[in-house]
Structure 1
């Protein structure tokens, strides 16, 4: 009876653990979907908001300056108020979302291309190639990324393209290290040896056999880095080193309202809330995707 009871207890415990893991997995999927919906709303607002909102975000209307949210101006209803020169905050936030998401997407594409290529070559070739590329990555990691971005941005000047290039230079290392680690994990597995035995060349092995196993970790890193990149772009624009001053940005809008926090809190507060919500959502999405693609959960 004791052996039978112990066996039943083990089965019940195993079944309970399976149900618990599946429940956690389902909760993780719901978190991913929720975060993706929020990010999609930001993207839709960035794409179509400036076209639907007829209020010119860069034209000044001094007669409408510092009007609180919900006020009626000479150009119509200002749902989120106006700034110190009469520009509509909602229109600036919509166009600023377009700039931030464009910079984020462009930076991830460029940084991902550089980092994945470096990580794939380093992990696959090994030896002195791996050592040289990783020492280069270590040298860059020795500099704080935001200070390096400020230094480069101050040299090349404010521009959307320059911001993308600057942030890509400071963020490729993460993609390279993650890709290299994954390549080192899978390059000696049986299916890679089988493809090598069948006569597959180095390019085929790297791109068609090994690289597909790196996609999931790269997507997780890209999701997390999206929030960091958007925050970095806002920081550079806040300092006047990001996009040009005639292009609305969340960072520049927040900077413009810092002298009016007592009288016109909405100028800095509302873009700050939108920026914080997007960065937090990207962080939660990255965390949920990491849990979802954890090897311990793939078997469920």
Structure 2
């Protein structure tokens, strides 16, 4: 159930409503917009009528949410959420550009990449310290030492850090080094991890699982939102289909569809979505044309010798060229880059 407060409602009115909602046996989640504040009353709505909340001082309207994802629904929050995390902003007029290597390999590699992507216009640095890999024999990342190297790169450039967390036990550790916790596709339905990220003091980039439906991704986001963390970004990184010409199939219709259903900003990953370096720039431009709020791509100073995913990774020079082309697309759709 969504309770929309009047524009004239005071903080005292809001807190009174929250207390009233909790007394009714529901959980109150406050969503503050630029124009209106709404309260999502989560729980068994069947035992409570709309009239039980309509008479509370400061309340404008009360409505039931039909979508199973209550907090992620645009019914709950009409404006697109602006997620801020250090230098990264996603959900506003400016498109957030996240770039960096699949894996952190050395201080020289990550600092060189950070400087190059910042110079090209990236607003955040990505890099994996913990790497869940299909094969146990593949490079698994440098763990905490990799996080320390990411912190060094941030110190050198000021860029916000986006890095993956793979287990609930590591959330506090990773959040101590990074502004954004990435939940990878393999972990989209790791509910203990989602709950832990819901309590973290860091933004979250939630990637769609390769076989997950849109509703399943939104319900995964709901776990994080329900934990109290409102800074959630959704990432389309491609799904598994019968096609074999790309690593995954990147459905860009996800962008406008999600923007109709949810207030959470949408990021596109053309690196994993295609699996081919030559296809990344075209799909990044297409994502911006489709209305994406952010793009995340893999960049490495020497892709041929990268320890992971070199076949889908741009060189620093290739990223700079892609950014120049993306700026023209962004301007055409009234966005900035």
* TM-score, normalised with respect to structure 2: 0.26
Task: Give the structure with higher Rg (CA).
Answer: 1
Query: Which has the larger share of strand?
Result: 2
Greater length-normalized contact order (CA 8 Å, ≥ 6 residues apart): 1
* TM-score, normalised with respect to structure 1: 0.28
